[in-house]
């Protein structure tokens, strides 16, 4: 067993982690410290660019820092969640107001669409980026969680928005339109972040999806918070 501080000379926060069966663990967080890795005599795979960036750091079974990277643009990023499938593909989600250095070529959402958008990034365990995309519409959009199917690169995200997100809403969607001031949402995405289905979830007031979880049969569960006393959608097996 071990524990450790990990931080630089400014504000640093860890929000999530993923532990491999053979011991290493990846910590995901948000930092305002450009010197975060150099203080530990490590050169990050990607540099710190903006005021507040996401970081991912790999620690050995003994707690030694062995690799790390920053992710972000010229603005502010906030990390939210990390998940990894059995092939070692790393999926990171967060939120950004940066207008550049986020999406890669061919991204489903290549540009920042509102004051802030969610973003999703797929990397390998050495932090080489496969692809990255914004996710959002004209309002402020936040991705709070991600869950990846173990044997594929299909994944699900949950979050909330105060606007509308320009996606084709399929017949299997539980709620096809935004219902209130803030609505939760859940989406299923496939290779390179391409949308497979999307649904809002919310009533006439403020609603947020804050966590999602797949079970062994890939049924999806979503939990959140609400101030709406009507219009809350309950998913059934025909909705996912």
For residue range 162-213, list pLDDT tens digits in order: 988 877 655 556 666 676 788 999 999 998 898 888 888 888 888 999 999 9
- The pTM score is 0.90
Query: Is the alpha carbon torsion for 133, 136, 141, 143 positive or negative?
Result: negative
Angle at CA of residue 57, ends 7 and 150, nearest 5°: 145
Q: Tokens 């069966």, residue?
A: 21
Q: Report pLDDT digits (tens) over 78-136.
A: 999 999 999 999 999 999 999 999 999 999 999 999 999 999 999 999 999 999 999 99
Q: Do the Cβ atoms of 118 and 139 come closer than 8 Å?
A: no
CB 43 within 8 A of CB 35: no
Question: What span, in angstroms and rounded, lies between the C-alpha atoms of 13 and 6?
Answer: 9
The tens digit of pLDDT for each residue in 108-117 reads 999 999 999 9
CB 185 within 8 A of CB 149: no
Highest average pLDDT, of 27-36, 188-197, 227-236, comes from: 27-36
What is the pLDDT at residue 142? 97
Residue that is written with structure tokens 């920042």 in the block: 112
Residues 110 and 117 sit within 8 Å (Cβ to Cβ): no
Q: Residue 174's pLDDT is what?
A: 66
């Amino acid at each position: 067993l071990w524990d450790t501080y990990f931080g630089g000379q400014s504000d640093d926060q860890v929000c999530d982690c993923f532990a491999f069966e053979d011991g290493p663990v990846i910590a995901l967080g948000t930092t305002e410290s450009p010197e975060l890795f150099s203080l530990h005599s490590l050169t990050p795979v990607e540099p710190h660019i903006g005021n507040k960036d996401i970081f991912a750091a790999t620690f050995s079974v003994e707690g030694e820092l062995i690799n790390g990277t920053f992710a972000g643009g010229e603005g502010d990023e906030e990390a939210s969640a990390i998940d990894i499938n059995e092939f070692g593909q790393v999926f990171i989600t967060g939120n950004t107001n940066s207008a550049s250095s986020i999406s890669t070529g061919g991204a489903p959402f290549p540009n920042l669409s509102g004051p802030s958008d969610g973003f999703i990034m797929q990397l390998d365990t050495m932090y080489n980026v496969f692809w990255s995309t914004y996710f959002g519409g004209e309002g402020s959009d936040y991705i709070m969680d991600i869950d990846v199917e173990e044997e594929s690169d299909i994944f699900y995200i949950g979050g909330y928005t105060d606007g509308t997100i320009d996606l084709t809403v399929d017949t299997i969607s539980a709620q096809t339109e935004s219902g209130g001031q803030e609505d939760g949402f859940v989406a299923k995405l496939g290779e390179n972040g391409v949308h497979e289905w999307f649904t809002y979830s919310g009533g006439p007031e403020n609603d947020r999806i804050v966590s999602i979880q797949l079970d062994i049969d890939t049924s999806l569960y979503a939990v959140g918070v609400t101030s709406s006393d009507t219009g809350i959608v309950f998913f059934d097996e025909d909705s996912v």
